[in-house]
Amino acid sequence: MALALMVGCQNSTKNQDNQDNQSTESSPQGQPMPGQEQLMQQAEDVTDEELNQFMAAIEHMQIINQSAQQEMIGAVKQEGMEVQRFSEIMQSQQDPNQNANATSQEMEQYAAVNQSLEKIQISAQQEMEEKIVEAGLTLDRYQEIGAIVQNSPELQQKLQSMQPSAE
């Protein structure tokens, strides 16, 4: 769940320009739209210190996620499969309309890879949760902040300004 939230938060901060601005629109009378006042209050309830903690946690999660992805690729290759072929079989397992025409050997490899991937995901999840706590947040508060950030262009902008610039 933290991984999903992290990805969502990363996307929201990177794709701020793609956000629809419903949360910042006003009614024709110039009054805030329903729910906007609550959103603005929630955004105000997030302190700068919490934003710094949230940003630190996200930065750690990006590193953990990249490492986990590399481990997953290695696990696929260690079983003698190509990543593309593994993905094809995985998609066919999730979508009954797709058929990967996998051999029994490929299905055995696929099952073995899945077990390895599950272990990697569990380990990465635990490490991410530890980094959230090390950053000074509870898991619940981290998730609350993530939800608030996703709906607050102001906080998204603040987080973007906190990110180290890519050169």
Beta-sheet strands, E only, within 59-148:
none
What is the domain extent for residue 149? 52-162
Q: Identify whether 39 is part of a domain.
A: no
Q: Identify whether 45 is part of a domain.
A: no
Q: Identify whether 141 is part of a domain.
A: yes
* pLDDT tens readout for residues 100-154: 899 999 999 999 999 999 999 999 999 999 999 999 999 999 999 999 999 989 8
Query: What is the chain's Cα-based Rg?
Result: 20
CB 128 within 8 A of CB 135: no
Please report, rounded to a whole number, the percentage of residues in the chain having pLDDT higher than 90. Answer: 57
Distance, in Å, from the CA atom of 101 to the CA atom of 124, rounded to the nearest integer, reads 32
pLDDT at position 165: 62
Q: Identify whether 96 is part of a domain.
A: yes
pLDDT at position 163: 77
Q: Would the pTM of this model clear 0.95, i.e. be above it?
A: no
* pLDDT tens readout for residues 48-88: 899 999 999 999 999 999 999 999 999 999 999 999 999 99
Q: Identify whether 36 is part of a domain.
A: no
Q: Identify whether 78 is part of a domain.
A: yes
The number of distinct structural domains making up the chain is 1
CB 1 within 8 A of CB 145: no
Amino acid identity for residue 115 in this structure: Q
* pLDDT tens readout for residues 12-54: 333 333 333 333 444 444 454 555 566 567 777 889 899 999 9
